[in-house]
Chains A and B, each alone.
Chain A
Amino acid sequence: QSALTQPPSASGSPGQSVTISCTGTSSDVGGYNSVSWYQQHPGKAPKLMIYEVNKRPSGVPDRFSGSKSGNTASLTVSGLQAEDEADYYCSSYAGSNKWVFGTGTKVTVL
């Protein structure tokens, strides 16, 4: 199972928006409404930010939103804040009780 493809980096100024893509195949991203997104600060465990493409767990700000079109999912962070600077990973169910993660994107707040 190959990793999902994400851009290595993305950046934006405080208050701006940044969008991260996550490209897979019809066997994972395109085949299920199962894309989730995780935020990871250096030295910390990942934190769930979005699940089932566009749902937010309790406590996650509504500045974080998700979408999907075909084999590509996206995470948008609106109103960027300094604390949003982190690595972001997408994940998708890939069938047969297996999961796949994205390659990761480092978001920098300028």
Chain B
Amino acid sequence: KQEVTQIPAALSVPEGENLVLNCSFTDSAIYNLQWFRQDPGKGLTSLLLIQSSQREQTSGRLNASLDKSSGRSTLYIAASQPGDSATYLCAPSTGGFKTIFGAGTRLFVKA
């Protein structure tokens, strides 16, 4: 059974800092891994999707890496802004396209 752990559970940083969110998963036989953000009272927005054959994906100030063999992924956010405040969720997909979510990292960026 896939288990996903995200560290830290919560993070508060001043605006402008670079930061790293960590995700680990127990079953390395994944098809891909997605990073999402969730704003309060809203659904999830897909940020980055890394296929199992890839090592990283970049979108703007976001960079996600995947080390499938060790069961780890990181989301790097450069030059953080108050608008980045949200909960960030890591979600690997295994056989049958079942997606398992971590509990998330709650990020607060102070102006």
| Chains A and B belong together in one complex | no
- Residues on A lying within 8 angstroms of B by beta carbon are none
